[in-house]
Chains A and B, each alone.
Chain A
Amino acid sequence: MNMRRFYLFGFLLLLSFDTVSQLSFKLAANHAIPLVIAPSWLFRVATAPWIYGAVLGYLGAFVTYMSLLRHAPVGAAFAASHLQVVSVILVSAWLFHERLSLAELLGSALIVGGILVLSTNKSDTRHADSAAALLTDDHPGS
């Protein structure tokens, strides 16, 4: 598998994990209402079945992300992983009937535009090297 396909597959997998995770977080948060700083809230969270969906999504995203991050610069990897904004907004509109105001839609367009600009930015492999150099002893002073 060439690197391009590897990254595309990796980011799509990451997107799916992140979307399921966010959806589960919201369902768990709704289940645990009312929000109070007390053990009773944590108990309601722990007994919300959805919180375990969020944990699984988190773990899946974590393993996928760490595998990608070894070579991808943190900025580009993180930006591409945030395209979940689009999928989460679509799922929220569908399942929770959330509607964005005109101002919020304008804001979302700018945010998604910014994410696209960042994630299509030509990555510079020196990023990874500079981070590695910082953390190993064989590149003193770099």
Chain B
Amino acid sequence: MSPLIFIVWMLNVVVDTGGQLAFKAAAAHGDEGGGMAHWRAMARRPWLWLGIIFFCAEFIFWLVFLSLVPLSEGILLGSLNIVAVLVGGRLIFNERLNSRCLLGIFLIAAGVAIVGLA
């Protein structure tokens, strides 16, 4: 893997994970009501907008990444995002990582490492 591909890959992981965590913060606002009330409650707080900014950045970075690698390889390397989001959820939202979570993280990380080195 060339240094350029690696850097673009890591940029994607950073903005994707940041976006996912921001969306979780937006969605779990704790206010009553569903439907439009849910969307209004999300729009009042910064998290939804922060998430949208991260995802716009990811839009460009992902396009650059897919210009450099085949689609199937890109989507496999992109699975590293799952590991990053789980770790982020643990650090920021105190979500528990039970032994099954740790097994899943290990399997994905091992698989991504194999694809990355292949």
Given contacts A45-B63, A110-B114, contact A78 B82 (CB under 8 A): yes
| Contact status A132-B111, CB under 8 Å | no
Q: How far is the CB of B71 from chain A (nearest CB, A)?
A: 4
The residues of B that contact A117 with a CB separation of less than 8 Å are: 100, 103-104, 107
SS class, residues of chain B in contact with chain A: helix
Q: Is there a chain A Cβ closer than 8 Å to B86's Cβ?
A: yes
Contact with A along B64-106 (1 / 0, CB 8 A): 1011101111111001011001100100011110101101111
User: A18–B39 Cα gap in the complex (Å)?
Assistant: 22
Given contacts A92-B71, A98-B70, A135-B25, contact A108 B76 (CB under 8 A): yes
Q: Is there a chain A Cβ closer than 8 Å to B28's Cβ?
A: yes
Given contacts A33-B67, A132-B30, A134-B93, contact A101 B118 (CB under 8 A): yes
User: A25–B59 Cα gap in the complex (Å)?
Assistant: 9
Q: Is there a chain B Cβ closer than 8 Å to A13's Cβ?
A: no
Tell me the A50-86 residues at the B interface (CB within 8 Å): 51, 54, 58, 62, 65-66, 69-70, 73-75, 78-79, 82, 84-85
| Contact status B98-A121, CB under 8 Å | yes
Given pairs A74-B21, A104-B118, 8 additional interface contacts (CB within 8 A): A69-B27, A74-B95, A92-B70, A98-B73, A106-B111, A107-B76, A115-B104, A124-B96
- Sampled A-B contacts (18; CB under 8 Å): A26-B74, A29-B64, A62-B55, A74-B95, A75-B85, A89-B72, A92-B70, A103-B118, A106-B114, A107-B110, A110-B114, A114-B82, A114-B104, A121-B101, A131-B93, A132-B28, A135-B30, A136-B29
